[in-house]
Amino acid sequence: MEVEQVEIFEYLRRFVPFKSLPEDVLSALSRQVEIAYFKAGSQILEVGDTVTDIYFVRSGAVEIYRRNGELYNRMSEGGLFAYQSLLIKQKVRFPVKAIEDTLIYFLPESVFRELFDQHEEFADFFEVGDQTRLRQAVSRREDTNELLTSKISTLITREPVVMPNTASVQEAAQRMTEEGVSSLLIIQVEANDPAADESTFIGPKASVSGADGSEHTVCGIITDRDLRTRVVSQGLPFDTQVLEIMSQGLVMINSDEYVFEAMLTMLRTNVHHLPILKKGRPIGVVALSDLVRYESRNSLFVVSSIFRQQTVEELAALQTDVQSSFVRMVNEDANSHMIGSAMAVIGRSFKQRLLELAEETFGPPPIPYCFLALGSMARDEQLIVTDQDNAMILDDSFDPELHDGYFKQLAQFVCDGLAACGYSYCTGDVMATNQQWRQPKKVWEQYFTDWIDSPTAESLLNSNIFFDLDGVWGHTEWADQLQGLISRRARRSQRFLACMARNALNRTPPLGFFKTFVMEQDGQHKKSINLKRRGTAPLADLIRVHALAVGSRATNSFDRLNDVIDAGILPPDRGPDLRDAMEFISTVRIRHQALDIEAEQEPDNNIEPENMSHFERRNLKEAFQILSDAQKFLKFRYQPNRAN
Amino acid sequence: MLHLIPDKKKPEPTALAWPDLYLKLAEQAQHPLLKTFYQAGCVAPDTPLNQVPFVAMDFETTGLNPQKNGIVSIGLVPFTLERIRCRLSQHWVLDPGKPLNAESVVIHGITHSDIDEAPDLEKILPKLLEALAGRVVVVHHRGIEQPFLSAALKARIGEGVMFPVVDTLELEARLHRGRAVGWWQRLLGKKPVSIRLADSRTRYNLPYYAPHHALTDALASAELLQAQIADRFEPQAQIKTIWH
């Protein structure tokens, strides 16, 4: 006869993975438990022991060591261990010691195997490497809001309807009626249309193949509205050519962008029809009305209001709107990539509007220039707590005597304005107000070449900041050109990569959490952890090194990671693991900032273990482990004398 | 009866006699169940603690007097120093054969309707004695279980029962009340250390278990003994140093 130990039953049911078990199964399990007491300091498992149970810490705490004596893990109440050895039927590899007086509940192997075979959620917990569990955690979250994570391509219902620029507006209207579409893409069939060449494309150029196999550039778009406002109301004849009334300077986006980014693009550019490109070819047109149902109250209209403000004071007043849109996105379970992009777009819009205002105040620039965003904003990983990193590329005709007075004023205006809008001054003085970072293009090229060819401690730090760059205003193609220089040059310099790799190891993740403390790798306790400094920043650093090594021109860490995975330089599965780790740490960071804002506290990057859920602790710990392993791999791969 | 002559300072002289006593009792006992129980023998007094088969036992009763009150539930948890094995534990709710009084019901939570269908002790006696046979009984406060069991047997089969016990309460008193609280410390407001089960467990970082369920209390005493021995004794220490 077996009887239920109520206390054991009640205790187990409070913990994952037992809480997922049906009550009768858990009750049966609690009858099978065995118990032993270990005084502080006594050895619970030694290397080479045979394990016949899994171990559950009922009270007290234990430490698990690697064979080299390095601390591997520390567990308190509710912690499970020794199941790895049991699952793979191996002798104990990591010794375990009680560091407090400890009571252990043992779950015998036979019982465990039965549960493992019959209860999937229970098995999931143990099965698999920790990394896979992290992926499950990430994907379960994403499932909760698929709308916000949909790619724009999912909204395309049909191929775009295309007409030559020589067609008449009447032909265009007839075609639109036949096809039941509200827009037409116009292709160039006559080369004598200079306007098409001057179009400033936001996306890459698009072209379509004609029936005869010739290539035609997409040079414009016309919509229902254009027919109304530009043809009928103007009294133009029906044989007017579409090229006379079409909108040029097409705004297009790539099919792998998020729905949400399409929406931002429409807001920023005030267009209602967005051609979607795949490999340079339009595969559909998405209208604003298609997006309306995805809009979900997103106060990303913040972006459009940024462009309506007339003074710095008015812009600064938008800060609370920015915060509330951040909180709303978090509450709608947007993923970190989307939130990062949205915050970056908002940041970029502030800069753009400030530059517009500056140019109104100080007059047009004497020579062309490009304003750069650097660091997390360039990577689209900007969150709510951020300082400004920016710089300016000036035309090579720059003459300090003649021009610098203007640009200095301009930089000062923008940086002060950004500070007023909540983007605090960069403590490292990486701002366009610093003359060192307000230089002609040729000087920038020299900077970057020097940094890559002869790295120093200081230039490596600079590389970490400046190699994540994004042109936000003016001649943004210069930013792309600099990016090209970096990607061509860095991958060839083994020494530079080795130095960058070493630099990326400066910040290590903690081991995990223990009760109300953060556990450092040396066993020290801290009260809180800075998730940026110890999590997302070292991850971004590490991904940057790999990205430079494979010549990726992406700036976003997730995009870089995709390039790195495609290049095949990581061991199998490491890439997806890194992506999950990045996503999870960012998510926790974002969530806690949103909680701070909701509690009307100043948000920061610090997180205290006592404010973390069991779920967060567990998965964060695994994410740190992935980062730690990835750092070891980085060290191994980019040795100064190794040929890759 | 031996256990009624407590000799707190020197338990050894009586304890030494246990295996021999079992031989004699096995001959004297009339009831076959008791005969079998004694024939299973008793571990030698010099057996190291880590080789002793223990069984933690706890009773809930209708009161504190073995002659007037009855047993309402019994919890048994067999264990060794190495492992407590829950799958071998047992729990019975019994008809006490005596009136349930309101005060005790409040403590153990076993009510009239619970015992309506409950068996008499005699019915479970074979299983109970089988579970105790060959093991050293562990209790928290030895004034209850053994006297109650002996009295209940006497009333039913005409003869009592005796066996050695390890008392975790007495051990706790020995370990933590080694010295009486002096007048100076009393002046300072120092109180003697509490040696109640729950308080004793706290000292060893053992978890809180809700008291007054016979099975839980038995488990609690088993864990407490493991902790006390881990804390103060060598696993090779002889059983005679702690039993009565």
Scanning every residue of chain A, which has its alpha carbon at the shortest distance from the alpha carbon of B218? A5
> What DSSP designation does A387 have?
B
Interface contact flag, A5 B216, Cβ < 8 Å: yes
> What band does A529 get if pLDDT is binned at 50, 70 and 90?
confident
What is the residue-wise DSSP string for A48-90? TPPP-EEEEEEESEEEEE-TTS-EEEEEETT-EESHHHHHTT-
What's the pLDDT score for residue A641? 64
Lowest-pLDDT range of A136-145, A300-309, A577-586: A136-145
Per the structure block, which two tokens stand in for B107?
A: 């403590």
Q: Which residue has the higher pLDDT, A261 or A478?
A: A478
Map out the domains of chain B as residue ranges.
9-241
Residues B210-232 have pLDDT tens digits of 888 999 999 999 999 999 999 98
Interface contact flag, A37 B226, Cβ < 8 Å: yes
> What band does A408 get if pLDDT is binned at 50, 70 and 90?
very high
Q: How many helices (H) and strands (E) does chain B have?
A: 11, 6
On the question of pLDDT at A48 being above 70, the answer is yes
Lowest-pLDDT range of A345-359, A621-635, B96-110: B96-110
On the question of pLDDT at A573 being above 70, the answer is yes
Nearest CA to CA, how far is A23 from chain B (Å)?
Answer: 18
What's the pLDDT score for residue A202? 41
Indicate where chain A has its CATH 1.20.120 domain(s): 483-637
Q: Which residue has the higher pLDDT, A516 or A549?
A: A549
On the question of pLDDT at A122 being above 90, the answer is no
What's the pLDDT score for residue A1? 43
The CA-atom distances, in angstroms, between A248 and each of A234, A271, A492 are 19, 11, 41
Indicate where chain A has its CATH 2.60.120.10 domain(s): 6-127
> What band does A2 get if pLDDT is binned at 50, 70 and 90?
low
Nearest CA to CA, how far is B188 from chain A (Å)?
Answer: 30
What's the pLDDT score for residue B188? 56
Mutate to test the interface with B, among A2, A14, A15, A35 (most CBs of B within 10 A): A35
Q: What is the CB-side half-sphere exposure of residue B106 using CA atoms within 13 A?
A: 3
Interface contact flag, B87 A31, Cβ < 8 Å: yes
Residues A10-22 have pLDDT tens digits of 899 888 788 888 8
Q: Tell me the chain A residues in contact with residue B83 when contact means C-beta distances shorter than 8 Å.
A: 34-36, 106
Nearest to A36 among B83, B213, B215 (CB): B83
> What band does B64 get if pLDDT is binned at 50, 70 and 90?
confident
Lowest-pLDDT range of A204-218, A616-630, B47-61: A204-218
Nearest CA to CA, how far is A619 from chain B (Å)?
Answer: 27
Mutate to test the interface with A, among B90, B204, B205 (most CBs of A within 10 A): B205
Report the DSSP pairing between strands B165-167 and B136-139. Answer: parallel
Which ipTM did the prediction report? Answer: 0.87
What's the pLDDT score for residue A172? 92
**Architecture per CATH, A483-637:** Up-down Bundle (1.20)
On the question of pLDDT at A286 being above 70, the answer is yes
On the question of pLDDT at B8 being above 50, the answer is no
Q: Which CATH number fits domain A157-293: 3.30.450.20, 3.10.20.740, 3.10.580.10, 3.40.47.10?
A: 3.10.580.10
Q: What CATH number does the domain located at B9-241 have?
A: 3.30.420.10
Nearest CA to CA, how far is B87 from chain A (Å)?
Answer: 5
On the question of pLDDT at A193 being above 80, the answer is no
Residues A587-622 have pLDDT tens digits of 888 888 888 888 888 888 888 877 777 777 788 888
Chain B contacts in chain A segment 297-336 (CB below 8 A): none
Q: Tell me the chain A residues in contact with residue B231 when contact means C-beta distances shorter than 8 Å.
A: 39, 101
Nearest CA to CA, how far is A515 from chain B (Å)?
Answer: 15
Mean pLDDT of chain B: 85
Nearest CA to CA, how far is A618 from chain B (Å)?
Answer: 23
On the question of pLDDT at A201 being above 50, the answer is no
What's the pLDDT score for residue B48? 95
Q: Tell me the chain B residues in contact with residue A36 when contact means C-beta distances shorter than 8 Å.
A: 82-84, 226
Nearest to B206 among A5, A32, A59 (CB): A59
Residues B156-187 have pLDDT tens digits of 999 999 999 999 999 988 877 655 445 555 55
A76–B contact, CB cutoff 8 A: no
Nearest to A7 among B205, B216, B230 (CB): B216
Q: Tell me the chain A residues in contact with residue B216 when contact means C-beta distances shorter than 8 Å.
A: 5-7
Interface contact flag, A58 B216, Cβ < 8 Å: no
Mutate to test the interface with B, among A5, A12, A44 (most CBs of B within 10 A): A5
Mean pLDDT of chain A: 83
End-to-end Cα spacing for chain A: 66
Nearest-angstrom CA–CA distance, A545 and A559? 14
Could you tell me where the DSSP H helices lie in A100-188?
109-118, 120-127, 130-143, 169-179
On the question of pLDDT at A428 being above 70, the answer is yes
Alpha-carbon torsion angle A195, A197, A200, A204, nearest 10: 140
On the question of pLDDT at B13 being above 50, the answer is no
Q: Tell me the chain A residues in contact with residue B205 when contact means C-beta distances shorter than 8 Å.
A: 59-60, 100-103
Residues B186-208 have pLDDT tens digits of 555 556 677 788 888 988 999 99
Cβ-Cβ contacts under 8 Å between A and B: the total is 73
What's the pLDDT score for residue A91? 84
Contact (Cβ atoms closer than 8 angstroms) between residue A533 and residue A376: no
Report the DSSP pairing between strands A390-394 and A215-223. Answer: unpaired
Interface contact flag, B84 A103, Cβ < 8 Å: no
Nearest CA to CA, how far is B227 from chain A (Å)?
Answer: 6
On the question of pLDDT at A315 being above 80, the answer is yes
A553–B contact, CB cutoff 8 A: no
Interface contact flag, A34 B91, Cβ < 8 Å: no
Q: What CATH number does the domain located at A6-127 have?
A: 2.60.120.10
What's the pLDDT score for residue B158? 92
Scanning every residue of chain A, which has its alpha carbon at the shortest distance from the alpha carbon of B205? A101
A33–B contact, CB cutoff 8 A: yes
Q: Tell me the chain A residues in contact with residue B73 when contact means C-beta distances shorter than 8 Å.
A: none
What is the length of chain A? 644
Contact (Cβ atoms closer than 8 angstroms) between residue A328 and residue A293: no
Contact (Cβ atoms closer than 8 angstroms) between residue A324 and residue A305: no
Interface contact flag, A36 B84, Cβ < 8 Å: yes
Exposure class string for A403-425: b at 16+ Cβ within 10 A, else e: bbebbbebbebbbebbbbbbbee
The CA-atom distances, in angstroms, between A159 and each of A284, A373, A394, B208 are 5, 36, 42, 69
Most confident stretch, A62-66, A157-161, A536-540: A536-540
Residue A100 identity (one-letter amino acid): E
Nearest to A103 among B206, B210, B231 (CB): B206
Alpha-carbon torsion angle A54, A57, A63, A68, nearest 10: 0
Residues A394-407 have pLDDT tens digits of 999 999 999 999 99
Q: What is the mean pLDDT of residues A165-176?
A: 92
On the question of pLDDT at A448 being above 50, the answer is yes
Lowest-pLDDT range of A18-27, A185-194, A353-362, A463-472: A185-194
What's the pLDDT score for residue A203? 43
Nearest-angstrom CA–CA distance, A639 and A507? 18
> What band does A145 get if pLDDT is binned at 50, 70 and 90?
very low
> What band does B130 get if pLDDT is binned at 50, 70 and 90?
very high
Mutate to test the interface with B, among A4, A7, A111 (most CBs of B within 10 A): A7
